[in-house]
Amino acid sequence: MKIGMIVAMDKELQQLRPLFPEDKVILQKSGIGKVNAAIQAIEMIRQYKPDVIISSGCAGGNGDDINVQDVVVSTQLAYHDVYCGTAIDDSTVYGQVQGLPARFDADPHLLEIARSLSLSTAPIHVHPGLIVTGDWFVDSKDKMREIIGHFPEAKAVDMESAAIAQACYLNKVPFISFRVISDIPLRDTDASMYHDFWNTIAENSFHVTKTFIESL
């Protein structure tokens, strides 16, 4: 199986590169944000024709059961900063690009494998759920409340996953996202959790992604 993996930042690349032989996983950095992520996904698909693509990295978490260093695995993915209005098509919902699904489903087979990881990755907690994506680093409680107002069930908020999911959907490539929770915006005031994550506890945070790939 040819596996492609996309991360946004050098910090994530440095954590993940030692975990995977280069002949086993095509690991590439996209840069931050939806456009960079989508471009990288398309380039990866065209150049390498992977059997699956995985988005990995960190994200802000949401929910009373979510804590820093937990992992959210995408069941679905959506945009939290897209609104196409109702002037042309009143069936289009908030977060949906007209003509595309309101939410992109993770590949069922990949998700089934991901759901089975909870026991093998203890004591790290794995939470299947909705990941929402937008071009906004969430560094305030007000912004997080606005996002969760539209997507109350969201488990994680990032800046790339839904864009990669869209590229994979259009090209019929199985996709799933693994996001390590680096901070909980509704419990923080100045993004200090995020900075503390990288300064003190990021090492070994991507063990779940490694275990998942070894299970494929």
Residue 172, both tokens = 């019929």
- How much is the pLDDT for 188? 82
Q: Does position 122 have pLDDT exceeding 90, yes or no?
A: no
pLDDT of 190 > 80? The answer is no
| 79-115 confidence digits (pLDDT tens) | 999 998 876 778 889 999 999 999 999 999 999 999 9
Residues annotated as catalytic are 12, 183
User: Which of 52-61, 62-71, 198-207 is the least confident region?
Assistant: 198-207
Percent of the chain with pLDDT over 90: 80
Q: Which of 160, 156, 162 is nearest to 6 (CA)?
A: 160
Confidence of residue 139 (pLDDT cuts 50, 70, 90): confident
pLDDT band of residue 202 (cuts 50, 70, 90) is confident
Structure tokens at 153: 């069930």
Confidence bin at 205 (pLDDT 50/70/90): confident
For residue 102, what pLDDT is reported? 95
What residue type is 116 in one-letter code? S
The band of 200, judged by pLDDT with boundaries at 50, 70 and 90, is: confident
Residue with tokens 């960079």: 36
Domains of the chain: 3-215 (3.40.50.1580)
Residue 9's pLDDT band (boundaries 50, 70, 90)? Answer: very high
pLDDT of 119: 62
Average pLDDT for residues 116-126, to the nearest whole number? 78
